[in-house]
Amino acid sequence: MNAVGIDVSKGKSMVAILRPYGEIISTPFEIKHTSSDINALVEQIKSVEGESRIVMEHTGRYYEVLAHQLAQANLFVSAVNPKLIKDFDNDSLRKVKSDKADAVKIARYALDKWQNLKQYSVMDELRNQLKTMNRQFGFYMKHKTAMKNNLIGILDQTYPGVNTYFDSPARSDGSQKWVDFASTYWHVDCVRKMSLIAFTDHYQKWCKRNKYNFSQAKAEEIYGTAKELVPVLPKDEVTKLIIKQAVDQLNSASATVESLRSLMNETAAKLPEYPIVMEMKGVGPSLGPQLIAEIGDVTRFHSKGALTAFAGVDPGVNESGTYAQKSVPTSKRGSADLRKTLFQVMDALIKTMPQDDPVYMFLDKKRAQGKPYYVYMTAGANKFLRIYYGRVNEYLSTLPESN
């Protein structure tokens, strides 16, 4: 019974090996995340007599290389939530924080929780790619939002409100009608210096050239509004250059987002649970792959409660004696990215209002009871995950063993 505690950091780790009753097999030593050092660690662990179990914290992405290689070497590896390690055995008034002390603490945790440790399952290549793409998708979505706000801020000084003229969704290439319109009619004088007939003709040709629908009424509305607007910046080459640069930046970010969205859907479609997940209400070609990416292989969770705990939407318990708190906040100690995706699914359900969906009916009931926004959204996310767990597991069990 050998407990291997590994304190992981970027590019290197501290390792300690203990046995029950405080017997030290190996004092803390450092290894680098190189093939030679990892192979040497594998040989050392295998050379120790008795069963060995390795525990490390799943901190960021640093642990994945080490966990993957050790699991590939047929060693028992368990990646544990850092919060569990932090709260373990804090019975000293003296605070000691070092890599060596942390490695020993993790090894002691492994001994104490020996029977409850869960084997680390190596995520297959598709799931790993999908999760990485989702992280990139989130990054570029933030970048796109920043670029959009930047462009709107500039246009408010040349053509106020132009971003509200059209609400068409982004095309597959990332282009949007209001952005293309603002690129051509970047200043209010680009519209009102023409006559209504001239602008309508120009606008109609612009719609045809960019493959957008033309509306005579919309052209008249745009022209009439332009007559009343007051710009701040002048209509000159400097202002035009500023706007063109902002438009190019937004178009670039938007194109990347749409490319990733399409690629994620194509990748997720290759996973076995894809069809059953896409049948769930509130889930589409964008949110479906994000859910699959963040949840991963659902069979690694031993129960519905384990999945809701992983997402941080599990209700807490606060009882003492005769006191029992009725409404306890959720833990919020799980995956923040998964919680964000779940809230987007709940928002889609509220907007589409599918009357035959149990999650929407539950959400609607909680709203009717006057529950606060975060309460009913989190409760809905919890219910959704429980249904997800049941449906996906049931579907996977019907597939041939080879899948």
Instruction: Say what the pLDDT of residue 326 is.
Output: 55
Instruction: Say what the pLDDT of residue 10 is.
Output: 85
Q: Please give, one letter per residue, the 3-state secondary structure of 2-28.
A: EEEEEEEECCEEEEEEEEHHHEEEEEE
Structural domains of the chain in order of their starting residue, each with its CATH number: 2-122 (3.30.420.10), 144-267 (no CATH), 274-397 (no CATH)
Residue of 295, 284, 279, 291 whose CA lies nearest to 357: 279
Q: Strand, helix or coil at 78?
A: strand
State the Cα–Cα distance between residues 370 and 403, nearest whole angstrom. Answer: 45
Cα distances (Å, whole numbers) of residue 307 to 6, 20, 180, 193, 383: 25, 32, 43, 61, 11
273: Cβ–Cβ under 8 A, 6 or more apart, which residues? Answer: 292, 298, 392, 395, 396
Q: What is the CA radius of gyration of the chain?
A: 28
**Global pTM?**
0.76
Which two tokens mark 230? 């007051």
State the Cα–Cα distance between residues 233 and 124, nearest whole angstrom. Answer: 54
Instruction: Say what the pLDDT of residue 126 is.
Output: 85
State the Cα–Cα distance between residues 59 and 3, nearest whole angstrom. Answer: 19
Instruction: Say what the pLDDT of residue 59 is.
Output: 72
Torsion of CA 349, 287, 65, 62, to 10 degrees: -60
For residue range 325-336, list pLDDT tens digits in order.
Answer: 455 555 556 678
Instruction: Say what the pLDDT of residue 273 is.
Output: 92
Cβ atoms of 387 and 304 closer than 8 Å: no
Residue of 281, 328, 279, 334 whose CA lies nearest to 305: 334
- The vertex-36 CA angle with 34 and 40, nearest 5°, equals 115
State the Cα–Cα distance between residues 159 and 182, nearest whole angstrom. Answer: 8
For residue range 115-148, list pLDDT tens digits in order.
Answer: 888 887 766 678 888 999 999 999 999 999 999 9
Is 74 exposed, middle or buried, given 0-12, 13-18 or 19+ CB atoms closer than 10 A? exposed
Per-residue pLDDT of the chain (403 residues; tens, 9 = 90+): 888 888 888 888 888 888 888 788 888 888 898 889 888 988 888 888 888 898 888 777 788 888 888 888 888 888 887 777 777 766 554 555 687 888 888 888 888 888 888 887 766 678 888 999 999 999 999 999 999 999 999 999 999 999 999 988 888 888 999 999 999 999 999 999 999 999 999 999 999 999 999 999 999 999 999 999 999 999 999 999 999 999 999 999 999 999 999 999 999 999 999 999 999 999 989 999 999 999 988 888 888 988 888 888 776 554 545 544 455 555 556 678 899 999 999 999 999 999 899 999 999 999 998 888 888 899 899 999 999 999 999 999 888 764 4
Query: Given the structure tokens 């209001």, which residue do they identify?
Result: 178
**Burial letters for 116-143: b for 16+ Cβ neighbours within 10 Å, e otherwise?**
ebeebebbeeebebbbebbeebbebbeb
Residue of 177, 140, 344, 135 whose CA lies nearest to 257: 140
Cβ atoms of 282 and 346 closer than 8 Å: yes
